[in-house]
Amino acid sequence: MPTPDELRHLLTHEPDIVTTTLGDMPKEQLVREVIEFEDDNELTYAIEYRLKTDNGALGEIVKRSVHIQLKRNVTSEGVAAMMG
């Protein structure tokens, strides 16, 4: 699991060349989006790269990285609840 500093670097650093499903591509050909989600159980960050389009529409997703940090041990709480 990445440390908070490593995660911050992943979210803010944009490489010049991105490895995608279509091979290595320059960042100028891509749109980068950071998606955050948080609830009682988890904190999730997703970084998506999409192809740029001429008309401004969302292009095909060519890379997605997801980092999930559990806030508590969800599995053991469920087992404990089943045991009563």
In the prediction, which pLDDT does 79 show? 66
No. of helices (H) and no. of strands (E), the chain: 2, 5
Locus of tokens 């045991």: 83
- Residues of the chain with confidence (pLDDT) below 50: none
pLDDT of residue 83: 72
Six-digit token string for 48:
């998506």
The total of structural domains in the chain comes to: 1
Residue 72 has what pLDDT? 77
Burial of 49 (0-12, 13-18, 19+ CB in 10 A): buried
Range of the domain at 28: 4-83
pLDDT number for residue 12: 76
pTM of the predicted protein model: 0.70
> What pLDDT was estimated at residue 32?
93
Predicted pLDDT at 24 = 96
**Cβ-Cβ contacts under 8 Å for 63 (sequence gap 6 or more):** 18, 19, 20, 21, 47, 48, 49
**Token couple for 73:** 């041990």
Where do we find the tokens 């995608």?
Answer: 20
| pLDDT value of position 76 | 66
